């Protein structure tokens, strides 16, 4: 009886462990989160903190050329870099004869805007917020027109070459700099 109870418990634990191991794709999640890291671009507003250096700490705008104007260092290319990578670039530059052992942190205050066009009541440029979906973007633009195709939408991503057709649902994400075009429905 004790042996059978031990075997049943062992089989149960083995099943629980293998079941848990099979449902946790940790390596894939780590890769996808690294690939999906936010890269800076024109229009982003940053808060750069240089600890112990109040005159260098402040808000900086990524200009149209993709650079920020930073005191002591001049123009620093930010376009295409992640905030932690830009912090490392600034840290390395400040170490080069300006500050001993600098510590730099970067926060994105305002992401670059997104654009919505087509069959919405108020097309235009809107500020991006994290977690934005196409439905939220349509709501900010005061809804669909009566001619709108409420099942399909076209999005051109900031660094994309072409528009991509998406099925419109509540989970269709919007990224900073995207251009959303709500299509006219077919009769």
Residue 59: name the closest of 74, 46, 50 by CA: 46
- The percent of residues in the chain predicted with pLDDT above 90, rounded, is 61
pTM for this predicted structure? 0.66
**Distance (Å, whole) CA 40 – CA 87:** 12
**Distance (Å, whole) CA 96 – CA 76:** 14
**Distance (Å, whole) CA 77 – CA 69:** 9
Mean pLDDT of the chain: 81
For residue 171, the model assigns a pLDDT of: 85
For residue 101, the model assigns a pLDDT of: 93
Grouping H, G, I as helix, E, B as strand and the rest as coil, residue 114 is strand
Grouping H, G, I as helix, E, B as strand and the rest as coil, residue 11 is helix
Tokens representing residue 105 in the block: 């942190």
């Amino acid at each position: 009886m004790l042996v059978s109870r031990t075997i049943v418990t062992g089989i149960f634990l083995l099943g629980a462990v293998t079941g848990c191991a099979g449902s946790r794709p940790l390596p894939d999640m780590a890769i996808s989160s690294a690939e999906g890291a936010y890269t800076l671009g024109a229009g982003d507003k940053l808060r750069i903190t240089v600890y112990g250096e109040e005159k260098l700490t402040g808000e900086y705008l990524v200009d149209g050329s993709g650079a920020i104007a930073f005191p002591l260092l001049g123009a620093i290319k930010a376009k295409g870099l992640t905030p932690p990578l830009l912090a490392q670039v600034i840290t390395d530059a400040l170490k080069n004869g300006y500050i001993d052992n600098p510590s730099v942190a970067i926060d994105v205050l305002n992401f670059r805007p997104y654009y919505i066009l087509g069959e919405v009541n108020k097309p235009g440029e809107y500020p991006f917020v994290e977690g934005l979906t196409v439905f939220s973007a349509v709501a900010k633009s005061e809804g669909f027109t009566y001619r709108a195709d409420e099942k399909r939408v076209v999005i051109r991503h900031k660094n994309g070459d072409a528009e991509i057709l998406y099925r419109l649902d509540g989970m269709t994400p919007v990224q900073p700099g995207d251009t959303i075009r709500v299509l006219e429905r077919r009769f």
